Protein backbone atom coordinates (compact mmCIF):
# COMPACT_ATOMS: atom_id res chain seq x y z
CA UNK A 1 0.00 0.00 0.00
CA UNK A 2 1.34 3.42 -0.86
CA UNK A 3 1.72 6.20 1.66
CA UNK A 4 -1.32 8.11 0.43
CA UNK A 5 -3.34 5.04 -0.49
CA UNK A 6 -5.75 5.02 2.43
CA UNK A 7 -6.08 8.80 2.61
CA UNK A 8 -6.70 9.09 -1.13
CA UNK A 9 -9.27 6.31 -0.95
CA UNK A 10 -11.14 7.99 1.93
CA UNK A 11 -11.08 11.36 0.16
CA UNK A 12 -12.35 9.74 -3.04
CA UNK A 13 -15.12 7.89 -1.23
CA UNK A 14 -16.28 11.11 0.44
CA UNK A 15 -15.89 13.53 -2.47
CA UNK A 16 -17.21 11.36 -5.29
CA UNK A 17 -20.78 10.97 -3.93
CA UNK A 18 -20.83 14.67 -2.98
CA UNK A 19 -19.92 15.70 -6.52
CA UNK A 20 -22.40 13.25 -8.04
CA UNK A 21 -25.25 14.50 -5.84
CA UNK A 22 -24.25 18.10 -6.53
CA UNK A 23 -24.36 17.53 -10.27
CA UNK A 24 -27.72 15.78 -10.00
CA UNK A 25 -29.23 18.67 -8.02
CA UNK A 26 -27.72 21.18 -10.45
CA UNK A 27 -29.26 19.38 -13.42
CA UNK A 28 -32.60 19.09 -11.64
CA UNK A 29 -32.80 22.83 -10.97
CA UNK A 30 -31.61 23.61 -14.50
CA UNK A 31 -34.25 21.31 -15.97
CA UNK A 32 -36.99 22.89 -13.83
CA UNK A 33 -35.90 26.39 -14.85
CA UNK A 34 -36.09 25.37 -18.52
CA UNK A 35 -39.64 24.13 -18.04
CA UNK A 36 -40.77 27.53 -16.76
CA UNK A 37 -42.73 29.52 -19.36
10-22 burial, b for 16+ CB within 10 Å, e for fewer?
Answer: eeeeeeeeeeeee
CA torsion 19-23-29-30 (nearest 10°) is 150
pTM for the model stands at 0.59
Q: pLDDT tens digits for 19-36?
A: 999 999 999 999 888 887
Q: Please provide the average confidence, as pLDDT, over all residues in the chain.
A: 89
Rounded CA-CA distance 10/15 in Å is 9
Q: State the Cα–Cα distance between residues 24 and 26, nearest whole angstrom.
A: 5
Q: Is the pLDDT of residue 17 over 90?
A: yes
pLDDT for 2 equals: 65
Amino acid sequence: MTRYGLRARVITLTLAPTLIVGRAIERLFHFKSLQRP
